Each structure stands twice: as structure tokens, then as C-alpha cells.
């Protein structure tokens, strides 16, 4: 198993929402997507990356955006214990919904991601033609035939009836 640490690429783009650089050839997200994710665990945070460990903290108001990304993109997603059990019932319910979407849709390490929009306001993708995801404050919708499965602070995930 090859560990792929997703915090740094996502952390690089989230504070300033620098999505154009993220999607550029060789940018943090394209570099991640091009990596051998067939057996790669992907996670947002671990006990080694918490702010108490003298690392740059991931903005708390963007944690669910990070999970919307991790749980809808190729890899073997993991959720940090404290984010699930210690951050309150509303967050746990959102994570359960995102985990359910991942499982129900069959997103796996070989899923195909089509980036349909990426600019300074949003990053939007369609995964395996079944799941659409948008992070960022900008408006975007996958169009007719999709319904919102979950949303939150600057993120949304849609499912199609296919």
C-alpha cells in the first residue's frame, strides 16, 4: 500500500481558494490524481497533523469541504477519528452522508474524475458519471437530472438517477 497524504495538496488551495493553480498540470490536485491511487489511503487529517503538533492548521470551517473532496475522489478514503467523534453530531451526520454517497455510488480507487469547472471561486467535478461535487463559494450546478444529496459551507454533492 502506498500512502498518499492529501492534507498538503488540499491545504495548499483551501485558505486562499487557489483552485486555478490546483488544476494546472503538475498542480497539487492533478499530481494527486495522477498518482498510483489503486491502493492508496487518502485522508484529510491525522493525529500527526493536528495543530497541536506544530503544523499549519487546516481551517476548521473548510474541514467538510476537504471531506467532500476525499470521499468523492479516487483512493481509499479515511476519516479522522476526532473529526467524526469529537466535532459534534451535525458534523458526524454530514460525514455519514458523504460516506454513504461514496459507498452507494461505488467510488473507488479507480474512479474517473472529470474536472468540469475550476477557478478562483469553485472546483467542480463529475465522478464516474454518477456523482457531482463542488467546493468553494462560487455557484455551479451539474444541471438537469441531478439532485443535491448533501451540502454545507461552500460545498455540495449531487447524485444522478442513472
> Are the C-beta atoms of 29 and 13 separated by less than 8 Å?
yes
Q: Which residue range forms the structural domain that includes residue 75?
A: 4-160
Res 96 pLDDT > 90:
yes
> How many folded domains does the chain comprise?
1
- CA-closest candidate to residue 84, choices 72, 69, 96, 97: 96
Would you say residue 125 has pLDDT above 60?
Answer: yes
Residue 37 pLDDT > 70:
no
Q: Please tell me the predicted confidence (pLDDT) of residue 12.
A: 46
pLDDT of residue 57: 59
| pLDDT, position 41 | 47
Neighbours of 155 (CB within 10 A): 24
Amino acid at each position: 500500500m502506498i500512502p498518499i497524504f492529501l492534507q498538503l495538496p488540499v491545504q495548499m488551495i483551501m485558505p486562499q481558494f487557489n483552485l486555478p493553480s490546483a488544476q494546472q498540470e503538475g498542480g497539487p490536485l492533478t499530481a494527486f490524481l495522477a498518482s498510483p491511487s489503486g491502493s492508496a489511503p487518502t485522508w484529510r487529517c491525522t493525529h500527526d497533523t493536528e495543530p497541536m503538533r506544530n503544523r499549519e492548521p487546516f481551517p476548521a470551517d473548510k474541514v467538510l469541504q476537504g471531506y467532500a473532496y476525499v470521499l468523492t475522489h479516487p483512493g481509499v478514503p479515511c476519516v479522522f477519528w476526532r473529526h467524526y467523534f469529537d466535532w459534534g453530531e451535525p458534523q458526524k451526520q454530514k460525514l455519514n452522508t458523504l460516506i454513504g454517497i461514496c459507498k452507494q455510488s461505488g467510488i473507488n480507487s479507480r474512479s474517473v474524475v472529470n474536472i468540469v469547472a475550476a477557478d478562483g471561486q469553485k472546483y467542480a467535478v463529475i465522478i464516474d458519471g454518477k456523482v457531482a461535487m463542488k467546493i468553494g463559494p462560487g455557484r455551479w450546478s451539474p444541471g438537469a437530472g441531478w439532485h443535491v444529496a448533501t451540502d454545507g459551507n461552500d460545498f455540495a454533492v449531487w447524485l444522478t438517477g442513472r
